[in-house]
Amino acid sequence: MDVLAHFRKARNVVTMPRGAVIFGAGEAGNNMYVLIQGRAEISVGGEVIENAVPGALLGEMALVIAAPRSATVTAATECKLVSVDAAQFDLLVRESPEFARHVMAVMAERLRRMNERMRDALRELSVRGRKPK
């Protein structure tokens, strides 16, 4: 799915200056964002785990499960984002199975990358002679 093409003419574009926190870990998530322009950093525990570029979905987990945000997203450059609330998200999922598959693919790819990072960290521990608990 070409997310940029789908959201390019959206009316609810938000501009965030460089350095602004788009949302923080632990916050309630009532919306997600589509990054239209700029670059954002996704961090967990103060460590940047991903650099988001135009077309990225940010905060989608908050609309899939009702739980506090698990990451902080900060504008690394000035960012233009489209805010998608729960009602809009549900409508998109109902009207566009392609959008729903895209959201699942984004989440699955992020999970895959986290699994790889965990595997690498466990290997590093075993190389140093420590056994993971």
What is the full DSSP assignment across the chain? --HHHHHTT-S-EEEE-TT-EEE-TTS---EEEEEEES-EEEEETTEEEEEE-TT-EESTHHHHS-S--SSEEEESS-EEEEEEEHHHHHHHHHH-HHHHHHHHHHHHHHHHHHHHHHHHHHHHHHHTTPPP-
Chain segment 22-80, per-residue pLDDT in tens? 999 999 999 999 999 999 999 999 999 999 999 999 999 988 998 899 999 999 999 99
Chain segment 86-102, per-residue pLDDT in tens? 999 999 999 999 999 99
**Which CATH number belongs to the domain containing residue 43 in this structure?**
2.60.120.10
Residue 96 covered by a domain:
yes
Residue 88 covered by a domain:
yes
Report the predicted TM-score, pTM, of the whole model to 2 decimal places.
Answer: 0.85
